[in-house]
Structure 1
Amino acid sequence: MLSPFEQFLSALPTHVVLEALADKSSIIPLNLSLTNTALQTVDLSSSKALEAYIWSEMARQQAKVAVGGYLEHRGLYRRSTYFKPLDVDTERNIHLGLDVWTAVDTPVLAPLKGSIHSFNNNTNHGDYGPTLILKHKIEGFEFYTLYGHLSLASMSSWRVGEAVNQGQQIGSLGAAEVNGDYPPHLHFQIIRAIQDFKGDYPGVSNLKDIAFYKENCPNPNLLLDI
C-alpha cells in the first residue's frame, strides 16, 4: 500500500528527465544485481568493461536507453573503498535511486518545477561526480530530487536558489573520467528529508539502514513512470 507521499508522487504530471524516455519502445530494463549471472564474466572494476556489457545489451534489444536499479543488491561497489566495510550488515550495496543508462552528453531535464537546493562535485572513486539537488514545494509537500553522474560543464550554469522550470535542461551526462568512473548514466533519486546534506546524499544503503532509506527515498519510478 502506498503512503500519502507516494500516492502524491504517482499522481504528479511530470516531464521526462531524458527525451529518449518519451519513446518507451526504446527502453529496456537492466539488471545489475547479484542475481544476474551474466555479470560473472564482466570485470566490474572496469568502467569500460561494464559499459561494453550495457551497450551490448541495448544493441541486442535495439534499445536507446537502459533503466533499473532501485533497491538492487549490487556487487559492483566492492571495487571502491568508499563503500566499505565489507560485512553483511554494514556493506553499502543496496541502490536507492533509478539509473538511466545512455550516451554521454545527453541532456538532463527537470521533471518538475523547483529550485536549486545545492550542488557539488563528489570525487570519491565510485561516487556521483558532479551532482545537483533540486528542492520542490508542490501541493503542500516539500521534497528533493537528486541528479548524479553529470558533466563538469553542467556545473557552470548552477546557482543555489535559482528557480528551475519543468522541462528545463539542468545538465548533461558525464563521462567515466568525471562521473565517479561509471559508464554514462543518470542516477535519479527522490529524497523526502534532506537532513543536513548539500550537493550529496547517500545513494546506496546497507542492510542495517535500509528501512529508513526506503521510507525517505521512495521508488523514483513513482514520479518518472518509465
Structure 2
Amino acid sequence: MTTTDRIMYLIIVGAGRIGNRVIELATGDGHEVVVIEKNTDLAEQTSSNYDCLVINDDASKMDVLEEAGLEKADALITTTNDDSTNLLVMMLGRRYAVPRLLSSVREPDHISLFDELEIDFVESPHRLNGEFLYKTIQRPGIKDYMRLDGGAEIVEIKLAEESSLIGLTILEAIESEKIADDLIIVAIYRHGELIIPRGNTTFEAGDTVTVLSKEGIGKDIIQTLKTQ
C-alpha cells in the first residue's frame, strides 16, 4: 500500500516517456489505472507491459473520458506533448469535479492558463518527469520532488497556516517531536528570499520548506508540515 493508505482510481492521458513512468509507478503500487493513448503503437505497448485498461482514442473527447470512468476517478493526469489537449482534458475533469487534476505543461507561455484554472501542473523542464507527477498525486502539497540514491528524498512543501510548526523554531519542533530529529530542513524560501535555516530559525505560515529525509518523505511528514 502507498502513502495514500488506499487504492486509487487513476486516469492517465498519454503513454509517452512521462506517462509511461506514471503508469509504471501507479500499477506497481496496485492502483486501478486507466490509460488513454491516441497512438496505436503506444497503446498496444502499454497494454502489453502493464496491468491496466488502455483506451486507444483521443482523450479530448468527452465520451472517451466517460468511458474511462471519469465520474469515479480519484485523479486525472495528463502527460501529452500538446498543451491544448492537456488543458481541455483538465477543463473536462473540472466539470466532473475530479478531486485531483494534474498536468504537464510544455510551453512556459501557457502556464498562466493552467494557473487560472487552479490546476496542479509541472512547468519547468527539469521537473517534467513521471515520478514527480505521481508523487504529487500521492502527496498533495508537494511543490517539488527529487529522489536520491539509497532511497533518500528531497521535497519542497508550503507551510499551511494551520501547521503546528508555525511560530516554532526548528530546534523547538525537533525537541517537541513534531519533526523527527533525522529530518533535515535544507532551506526555507520566504517572500521570495532564501533563508539558510539554523536551530533558532522560526517557521512562518507561507514558508516553502525544503526537506531532506534519508528514509523517504512519508505521508506523516507531509501532514505535519501542512497541518497538525
Shared fold (TM-score greater than 0.5)?
no
Higher relative contact order (CA 8 A, sep 6+): 1
- Between Structure 1 and Structure 2, which shows a larger proportion of helix residues? 2
